[in-house]
Structure 1
């Protein structure tokens, strides 16, 4: 998957969606590290603030947890979409 530089969605949302899909399909396993901000910058050719925003969005959605000094990790049990939430 690639980001659409000309599309209406912000780049960080597109990157977060790609990473969420990788978490969902098992590319990034539970309790394992997701790529660093620097790796995301290189892979998607974006600035560090954009990469950081993508990771923060995944954290807000409960898909990853960031451990200071260690990186960001996929949570054990991702949240389940509940009706009405």
Structure 2
């Protein structure tokens, strides 16, 4: 079952729509700083999309500075006000 926030007919790519939902969760505090975002598998199930689409969304979030990834641990919400996290050296 796809999440209602995603419009597969929109001109906005699905991965960007997913990223926007996650950004909303970060900004409203549902996903707090230095806490893991849901796993790829969870996001695939939540949004009803392919794993590659979720990976593109997470890559976009990382490039935009919303999250950072710790190998073998997961992807975490970055403290954008402080400009980084202790784990990623910023």
Is 1:30 matched up with 2:33?
Answer: yes
For residues 4 and 44 of structure 1, do their structure 2 counterparts lie closer, same or farther at Cα, with a shift above 3 Å needed? same
Structure 2 stretches lacking a partner, 5+ long: 84-90
Query: CA offsets per residue over residues 13-42 of structure 1, 9 Å max, x none?
Result: 000000001100000000000011111100
Aligned residues: 80
2:60 is aligned, of 45, 54, 57, to 57
1:44-83 pair list within 5 angstroms:
44-78=47-81
TM-score norm. by structure 1 comes to 0.88
Q: How much does 1:7 deviate?
A: 0.7
Range moving further from structure 2, 71-80 or 4-13 = 71-80
> Which residue matches 1:83?
none
Structure 2 SS opposite 1:27: coil
TM-score norm. by structure 2 comes to 0.83
CA distance in 1, matches of 2:76, 2:15: 18
Q: How much does 1:2 deviate?
A: 1.4
Task: Tell me how large the CA RMSD over aligned residues is.
Answer: 1.6
Q: How much does 1:77 deviate?
A: 3.0
